[in-house]
Amino acid sequence: MVQRGMVALVGAGPGDPELLTVRAMRLLESAEVVLHDNLISEEVLALAPGNATRVNVGKRCGDVKDRGLQQHEIHELFLEYSKRGKRIIRLKCGDPFIFGRGGEELEFLAYHGIDVEVVPGITTALGAAASCQMPLTQRDHGGNNVRFMVGQTRAKKVPDVDWAELAQSSSKQTVVIYMGMKMLDDICTCLLSNKADPQTPMTLVENATLPNQRMVSGTISTLAADGRANRMGENGPVIVFLGHTAAFPQHLEKISGGKPRACLKMALGTGPSLRTVCFNWSCCRYANNSLLQRVVQKLGRRLLLVAVVLALGLGVRRFPCVERWKNWLRQFLICRSPAQHAAMSAVMIGAMAPPKAAKQMSLLQPTQTCG
């Protein structure tokens, strides 16, 4: 649980509420203030208590039309709610440290001496790769390494990267470009003018992981026009994939005889929902154990042993053999090492064996073993 006046920077994942981490869910359940990005779903926000203050700080996952609050205004909110001793959750789309300004917020909070916990989220590259069945590394498809980059600078220009190097290596790695839709034409032009193979596959994914996810695939030479033709980016954020792995969904489709693979989801069973499971896990951790296990967990093994000894003590008057077990148990309890316990167990087995065997084993006296 986040302490009073403390902030948790929490990744909410790319969109599908089921991709929230258990830690994120539990922190939300104890939040007093939730400062959230624009695209966080109602289902996720509903996890916060009804009386928690929810502030939409308006960042629409990189949508330049909707800048929302300025970063310094978000910082002011941190200060204000922290001074009031509130438990604050800063809920960000994807992961806070992947183009999420998590570092800037950490700097501000550190400067003001405010404690912070960071909870990772599934970044869009991973969410989209999974829901489109597009592995980010696949050696026989040239995917030996992965690069995450932005497609535009704050000044709305293509980023200042080594385009010649990127163009040459684009067929040997997977490049995932965040916030790249607006500059897609320029990005493809930069790649081509730096001698990238025009046939290198590229894919756009809009609203990754959500029910309205759309995917458009092409090559460096076609994708900008394909994206425009399909009006990509008009109905949600878009992420761009470059490299041979970007054509993996089509490869799978071919293998499976033309059956589209993207967005397949296994139906959930009739078991308890994630929320119920987590509630059980945190509140009634022992709910599924047997009654005996629960008693053992609650009372502790030592108490249980005392109960057994008492029971044996009471039974000893009726059954003489219990006397032997009682002695053994008393010795067993004072043994210190596993070796002593093993030796005592051997003695006990001897004591329970038929009279002849027991006589032979009686040479080994319990007191000598554990002394």
Ligand X SMILES: C[S@@+](CC[C@H](N)C(=O)[O-])C[C@H]1O[C@@H](n2cnc3c(N)ncnc32)[C@H](O)[C@@H]1O
Residues making contact with ligand X (CB under 6 A) = 14-15, 61-62, 92-95, 98-100, 123-124, 128, 178-179, 205, 207-209, 237-239
Q: Which helix H or strand E contains 91, and what residues bound it? A: strand 88-92
**Which tokens go with 271?**
């078991």
What span, in angstroms and rounded, lies between the C-alpha atoms of 220 and 240?
11
Which residue's CB is nearer to ligand X, number 32 or number 95?
Answer: 95
For the bound state, the minimum distance from the C-beta of residue 238 to ligand X, rounded and expressed in Å, comes to 5
Question: Can you list the alpha helix ranges (DSSP code H) found in the chain?
Answer: 22-29, 42-45, 71-83, 102-111, 124-132, 163-169, 184-193, 223-229, 248-255, 274-283, 291-299, 301-315, 320-334, 338-352, 355-361, 366-370
CB-based contacts of 39: which residues, under 8 Å, 6+ apart? 15, 60, 61, 93, 236, 237
Look up tokens 């064996």; give the residue. Answer: 353
Which residue's CB is nearer to ligand X, number 119 or number 179?
Answer: 179
Which residue's CB is nearer to ligand X, number 152 or number 331?
Answer: 152
In sequence order, what E strands does 20-67 have?
33-36, 53-56
For the bound state, the minimum distance from the C-beta of residue 61 to ligand X, rounded and expressed in Å, comes to 4
> Residue 66's Cα: distance from chain center in Å?
28
For the bound state, the minimum distance from the C-beta of residue 32 to ligand X, rounded and expressed in Å, comes to 24
What span, in angstroms and rounded, lies between the C-alpha atoms of 226 and 231?
9
Which residue's CB is nearer to ligand X, number 28 or number 176?
Answer: 176
For the bound state, the minimum distance from the C-beta of residue 74 to ligand X, rounded and expressed in Å, comes to 14
Catalytic residue among 59, 86, 92, 95: 59
**Which tokens go with 200?**
């290198």
For the bound state, the minimum distance from the C-beta of residue 122 to ligand X, rounded and expressed in Å, comes to 8
Catalytic residue among 37, 63, 86, 92: 37
Q: Measured at CB, which residue is nearest to ligand X? A: 94
Which residue's CB is nearer to ligand X, number 120 or number 201?
Answer: 120
- Is 359 noted as a catalytic residue in this protein? no
Structural contact between residues 97 and 105, judged by C-beta atoms closer than 8 angstroms: no
Dihedral sign (CA 297, 303, 306, 311): negative
CB atoms within 10 A of CB 110: 11
- Is 59 noted as a catalytic residue in this protein? yes
Question: Can you list the alpha helix ranges (DSSP code H) found in 84-214?
Answer: 102-111, 124-132, 163-169, 184-193
Which residue's CB is nearer to ligand X, number 124 or number 171?
Answer: 124
Structural contact between residues 150 and 99, judged by C-beta atoms closer than 8 angstroms: yes
For the bound state, the minimum distance from the C-beta of residue 249 to ligand X, rounded and expressed in Å, comes to 15
> Which residues are designated catalytic?
37, 59
